[in-house]
Amino acid sequence: MKHPIVVIGAGAAGIIAGWRAAQMGAKVILVEKTDRIGTKILISGGGKCNITHDGPIESVLKAFRPNEARFIRPACYRFLNTRIIEMLTDRGLRVYTREDGRIFPVDQTSKDVVAILRTYLEEEGVIIKLESPVREIVAPGGRIEGVRTETELIPTHHVILCTGGSSYPRSGTTGDGWPWTSQLGHGLVPIKAALAPMDLRLKSIKDWAGVALRDIVLRSRLNGKESAKWRGDMLFTHHGISGPCTLGISRVIAEQWGEGIATVEVDLLPDHKFDRVDADLVNYKTKNPNRQIDAIIADLLPQRLVDPFLEQAGVEPGTKCQQLSKKQIHKLAEQIKGWSLGEVAKVILAKGEVVAGGVPLDEVDPHSMRSLKCPGLYLCGEIMDIAGPVGGYNLQAAWATGFVAGETAYEDWSGSSSGEI
């Protein structure tokens, strides 16, 4: 009897990897630290799970940075976004596609996704060991001999390592895999927050908690120079900002951290250029001399933010339009196009949906997910230096790389005789 393939981490990548290797004929043990499989899938999409992104796979790949897209392209062609949907809908999940291409379960619960994935594992006879944190990959002289958990040593020559990233540590992902990959010869791209909320230094921010801005552009600047921007919605939190726009620019801010002062600002009318906004305000003043400026700003901002916005522009709330000077109108137009929320205090890695950084992509073969440093080691999912945007892209990368890792591990396992005991 051969030693099994051991998959470490029952997240999106590990579930698909374990299932695929077992389906092809391997004996597979899936070892998971927490008391359930798919812990992060369960909390994904706010508990609704944005399973993947719709559309031709080339357009899905375009959402990633070019080097990341190049790396995951072969895997995504082997495990298309339609494939995971087929696997789930074949077993009764009903899904719908939002206008923006994000695919969710109709019943809005990630529990159904995980329950179905579990049936795939069970059907193929994958042995699932829960509450079994792995402590070590035993590899004397660089040859994998086993995986040590807290309670046992599992002999193996084939390890699929998919322990994920290090955000949301309470979900089990505490970056355990990286010390092992380092020991096995891999480098490490420094871990940085991505898709994360951020704290701001602005004192008044705590009064705005819970207020949302819709369809704005959030822009970041490093030492005054534009560094990133994202269009969509934004949410004020107790200490800063969150929501799609914030997550969208967080990776760039985290990457540039320490290089200078990072600030953020909001463009409230992204479809209009400054000159147009300025001219519209002048026209409004002429046509509505007795209306208060608050009314115009209230069209752009939730009521709670109107007074602070006007104060920041140096305009007394309650000012009638006819009282506004040219300079004040100019200032208001400037602020509508770039309302400064001040300096970023912190990008919160622990609350990020993913982390950037991890195992360098040039140390893994994109066609097989074999480690180029250690024979018998396969890597998939977020443990590698991949961080797509919000939209189902990260799960797609995990499913697809997991699938390829599972197939390759099976091929190596079935061709090897060294596992005989």
Residue choice 9, 146, 248, 389 for contact with ligand FAD (CB under 6 A): 9
Q: Is 68 in the site for ligand FAD (CB under 6 A)?
A: no
Do the beta carbons of residue 43 and residue 59 sit within 8 Å?
A: no
Do the beta carbons of residue 60 and residue 68 sit within 8 Å?
A: no
Binders in 189-208 for ligand FAD, by CB under 6 A:
none
Binders in 335-354 for ligand FAD, by CB under 6 A:
353-354
Q: Is 11 in the site for ligand FAD (CB under 6 A)?
A: yes
Integer CA distances (angstroms), 145 to 13, 25, 30, 383, in order: 23, 21, 16, 21
Per CB under 6 A, the segment of 8-16, 232-240, 247-255, 256-264 that binds ligand FAD is 8-16
Residue choice 18, 45, 101, 105 for contact with ligand FAD (CB under 6 A): 45
Count interface residues toward ligand FAD (CB under 6 A): 37
Residue choice 50, 156, 220, 371 for contact with ligand FAD (CB under 6 A): 50
Contacts (Cβ under 8 Å, ≥6 apart) of 115: none
Contacts (Cβ under 8 Å, ≥6 apart) of 273: none
Do the beta carbons of residue 369 and residue 75 sit within 8 Å?
A: yes
Per CB under 6 A, the segment of 10-18, 209-217, 236-244, 268-276 that binds ligand FAD is 10-18
Handedness of CA 57, 246, 105, 350 (dihedral sign): positive
Q: Is 181 in the site for ligand FAD (CB under 6 A)?
A: no
Do the beta carbons of residue 44 and residue 50 sit within 8 Å?
A: yes
Q: Is 164 in the site for ligand FAD (CB under 6 A)?
A: yes
Q: Which residue is nearest to ligand FAD (CB)?
A: 11
Integer CA distances (angstroms), 283 to 270, 276, 322, 326, 337, in order: 20, 10, 11, 12, 18
How far apart are alpha carbons 296 and 349 in whole angstroms?
A: 37
Residue choice 4, 105, 389, 392 for contact with ligand FAD (CB under 6 A): 392
Residue choice 398, 400, 405, 409 for contact with ligand FAD (CB under 6 A): 398
Question: Residue 102 Cβ, how far from ligand FAD at the closest point, in Å?
Answer: 8
How far apart are alpha carbons 387 and 196 in whole angstroms?
A: 11
Q: Is 243 in the site for ligand FAD (CB under 6 A)?
A: no
**Binding footprint of ligand FAD on the chain (CB under 6 A):** 8-14, 31-34, 39-40, 43-45, 49-50, 133-134, 162-164, 167-168, 172-173, 176, 353-354, 381-382, 392-395, 398
